[in-house]
Amino acid sequence: MADTHLDNVHNAIVGSTVTTEGGDVLVNGHKVTNYFYSAQYQDLKTQADELQEHFEKTLAKIAKYPDDEDFKADLLKLSGTRNEIRKKLEELKQEVIRLAETFTKIPINSDRLKLARQHFEAGNFSAARAILDAEQMGIELDDLLQREEHLQQQQAQVQALRMDKANEFLILARLTALNFDVPDRFDKTIEYFEQSLKAAHTLENTFEYAYFLHTHNQFNAALPWYDEALHIRRRLADANPDTYLPDLAATLNNLGYLYRNRHDIAAAQAAYDEALDIRRRLAAANPETYLPDVAGTLNNLGILYRDRNDVAAAQAAYDEALGIYRRLAGTNPEAYLPNVAMTLNNLGNLYHKRNDFTAAQVAYDEALQIRRRLAAANPETYLPDVAMTLINLGNLYHNQNDVAAAQAAYDEALGICRRLADTNPDTYLPDVALTLNNLAVLYSHRNDVAAAQAAYDEALHIRRRLAAANPETYLLDVAGTLNNLGNLYHNQNDVAAAQAAYDEALQIRRRLAAANPETYLLDVAGTLNNLGILYRDRNDVAAAQAAYDEALAIYRRLAGANPDTYLPDVAMTLNNLAMLSSDRNDVAAAQAAYDEALAIYRRLAGANPDTYLPDLAMTAVNLSIFYLKSLPDQDKSLAHAGEALTAAGPFVEVLPACQEYARAALQVVEAWGIDAEAFFEETLKDY
């Protein structure tokens, strides 16, 4: 996780068509309610105003008595309470919007629902919730279920009543989601969704439940409900394509996002492809409405192709998406410039991955320029995007050893993320931790151990706290920072600390992989590789061999299903195994591992030279050293040195690692008593 790139996923969760102005909640242009009317809003607003007044008075006291620590402690406490109230106000607004839209989608047939809607429209959410008595509704539902079993002749009537109960519980679930006075709000919301589904599976409650789980990062739990919603929407679209095909495409788009997060590449590809096919057909008849959706799915496909190292396909998808967004932004910049910047950001990541640093810089710079302009007018919405592109630029500068520029980009991103986290910690603390993690890697590479340790420690502290509340989402990040801390300790020869950090990271990753191997096995293999290097450095050959062997077995299994994505990891681990075998004078094993790694990198570089020639250079120079020291063979050693120089040549100006490979290859040449300069010139001439 040294360089963490941030991609924008377009339309990962289907958005609402609802807007608010002055507290009015509008659905399809019609006012449903005004959330300013609600007692909850008034109470929260009063608290917010009082806290703000108290906050300002305390600030004045601090200004007057700067040495009084009690005032400072009061200010810190007030700041935390004020931020929590602001967060509740924002969440209240979003939940009211979602509920207003739900009311417009479901049939309002029961008296309870009619009364609940009346109270909701009047802003009396507590009264609306009180109407929907969960205990009484549950009794009625159970009674209905029994009547259905024993009174088949009344089945149609019972089914209709069950539908009402499903809708009542659906509304109760949504009302509970916005009720901050319920201490177990999340669990109760889940309970009421499940009661709704117990009554009847409808498109509304099935999709809404999937959506709720998705927005709370419960990806595995959301998947079966999206699948069911997809099945329902396929049936509806078959009967009425004009109405339901857009919803079918949106559900496929969401499923593609979930599959990609689970590393189920084939399923993600199939979902995105079908969504794109539908959206292209819709856009052919109605481009103004559906072209943005075409571009959104192309953007998601670009990310998927990039993940699996299909650079040409990723480039084509991003280019088409960018062309669409630029055209749309030409007539409606306010709506589509953010999408232009999003796609440029993702293109920058693609160029960076293939070591085209100049193109990456151009794409990131344009994305950053657009996002800064948007953030100047609307900071709350677009500052997170500014920080995202700054982080990616920091990664780019770091890989080019431009430490000052990387530091400046990371520092600005961190400042933005900290400021955002002050008012909305749940949303932006993960970004603070991410930026600290990248900064720590930068500090580590420039041997500022104290700064790296401090940044990792703060990132780890944040991630542990987040994981305590939401382990499914944040435990993997805890393991990532522990893994990086292990690297830091390893570089400082603190073997015990490195071992402890790697072991805890591996334990977390094994636990996650036991429940979800498709998603987390790759992370297990990554930590095993690091442990193998640690064991090798301390001459624990047996432990190093075991770690590398397990990592290699995982990578081979993953590559069997998805070679484009995982063959580079196979080659990397073979390279590490070869060095270990060479250390213990197992010349045959070292030669076989190096040869296989080199063959893989040659194949990869043949299809994608920008990305894999540096890796080819690394393995070729290792082989040239191997044939110099372990199995002396001048012809082979020089041939591999020449191949390393040829592979590294296009990148020596931009990649510091390639400079090292070229230097090592020339040292091998000199070790054979051959003039390095003449050899270099001859190699270039042949190349």
DSSP secondary structure string, 463-483?
A: HHHHHHH-HHHHHHHHHHHHH
CB proximity list for 566: less than 8 A, separation 6 or greater: 522, 555, 558, 559
Report the pLDDT value the prediction gives residue 230, as an integer from 0 to 100. 94
- Enclosing H/E stretch for 33: strand 30-34
Helices (H) and strands (E) counted in the chain, each on its own, are 29, 3
Residue 20 confidence class, pLDDT cut points 50, 70, 90: low
- Categorize the per-residue pLDDT at 76 as very low, low, confident or very high, splitting at 50, 70 and 90: confident
List the one residue out of 490, 620, 600, 586 whose CA is nearest residue 552: 600
pLDDT of 105 above 50: yes
At residue 83, the pLDDT reads 85
CA distance linking residue 269 with residue 372, whole number of Å: 33
β-pair partners for 21: 24
Mean pLDDT of all residues in 617-626: 96
**CB-hemisphere CA count at 13 Å for 389?**
27
- Decide if pLDDT at 9 tops 60: no
The residue among 600 and 71 whose pLDDT is bigger is 600
- pLDDT score of 156 more than 90: no
Question: What's the confidence (pLDDT) of residue 19?
Answer: 60
Is residue 602 within 8 A of residue 302, CB to CB? The reply is no
> Per residue in 399-442, pLDDT tens?
998 999 999 999 999 999 999 999 888 778 999 999 999 999 99
Please state, in angstroms and rounded to a whole number, the distance separating the CA atoms of residues 297 and 278.
11
137-146, 254-263, 378-387, 449-458: least confident range: 254-263
Sheet with 19-21, edge to edge strand ranges: 19-21, 24-27, 30-34
Bigger pLDDT: 484 or 178?
Answer: 484
Band (194; pLDDT cuts 50, 70, 90): very high
Mean pLDDT lowest for which of 7-16, 566-575, 637-646? 7-16
DSSP bridge partners of 27: 30
473 pLDDT above the threshold of 80: no
Q: Which residues does 622 contact at the CB level (< 8 Å), separation at least 6? A: 575, 578, 579, 594
How do residues 563-618 score in pLDDT, each as one tens digit?
A: 988 999 999 999 999 999 998 899 999 999 999 999 999 999 998 898 999 999 99
Instruction: Decide which of 427 and 197 is more confident.
Output: 197
pLDDT for the residue numbered 64: 86
pLDDT of residue 5: 53
User: Around Cβ 552, how many Cβ atoms within 10 Å?
Assistant: 22
Where does the pLDDT of residue 6 fall: very low under 50, low under 70, confident under 90, or very high at 90 and above? low
pLDDT at 16 over 80: no
Looking at per-residue pLDDT, the higher value among 9 and 522 belongs to 522
This prediction's pTM = 0.71
DSSP H helices in 492-562: 495-515, 517-537, 541-561
Residue 27: helix, strand or coil by DSSP?
strand
> What tens digit of pLDDT does each residue of 166-177 get?
999 999 999 998
Q: Tell me, letter by letter, the H, E, C secondary structure of 327-381.
A: HHHHHCHHHHHHHHHHHHHHHHHHHHHCCCHHHHHHHHHHHHHHHHHHHHHCHHH
Q: For residue 278, give both structure tokens.
A: 């539908």
In the chain, % of residues over pLDDT 90: 66
Tell me how crowded residue 453 is: count the other CB atoms within 10 A of its CB.
17
Digit-coded pLDDT (tens) for 30-54: 888 888 888 888 898 999 899 889 9
In the predicted model, what is the mean pLDDT of the chain?
90
- The C-alpha R_g of the chain, in whole angstroms, comes to 29
Rounded CA separation 560/242 (Å): 41
**In the structure encoding, which two tokens stand for residue 387, read together?**
């920080």
- Do residues 225 and 210 make contact, with C-beta atoms less than 8 angstroms apart? yes
pLDDT at residue 15 in the model:
42
Q: Residue range 374-391: average pLDDT?
A: 94
Alpha-carbon separation of residue 34 from 17, 94, 101, 129, 130 (angstroms): 16, 12, 13, 17, 19
CA–CA gap between residue 327 and residue 588 (Å, rounded): 59
The residue among 275, 269, 228, 231 whose CA lies nearest residue 253 is: 275
**Rounded Cα distance, 441 and 443, in Å:** 6
- The neighbouring-strand residues paired with 24 are 21, 34
Q: What is the mean pLDDT of residues 1-24?
A: 53
Please give the average per-residue pLDDT across 312-337, as a whole number: 95
pLDDT band of 12, cuts 50, 70, 90 = very low
Q: What is the pLDDT of residue 179?
A: 80
* Cβ-proximal residues to 546 (8 Å cutoff; 6+ apart), any chain: none
> Is the CB of residue 437 less than 8 Å from the CB of residue 481?
yes
**Which pLDDT belongs to residue 501?**
96
Q: Which long-range contacts (CB under 8 A, 24 or more apart) does 32-35 make?
A: 32/100, 32/103, 32/104, 32/120, 32/121, 33/96, 33/100, 33/120, 33/121, 33/122, 33/123, 34/123, 35/92, 35/93, 35/96, 35/123
Of 108-122, 136-150, 383-397, 444-458, the poorest mean pLDDT is in: 136-150
10 pLDDT higher than 50: no
Higher per-residue confidence, 520 vs 229: 229
Identity at 234, one-letter amino acid code = R
Q: Give the model's pLDDT for residue 383.
A: 94
Distance between CA 527 and CA 550 in Å, rounded?
A: 11
Distances (CA, A) of 194 to 104, 128, 167: 21, 20, 12
Q: Is the pLDDT of residue 520 over 90?
A: no
Structure tokens at 17: 């068509």
Residue 240: pLDDT band (50, 70, 90) is very high
CA 612, CA 353: separation in Å to the nearest integer? 10
> What local confidence, expressed as pLDDT, does residue 66 receive?
85
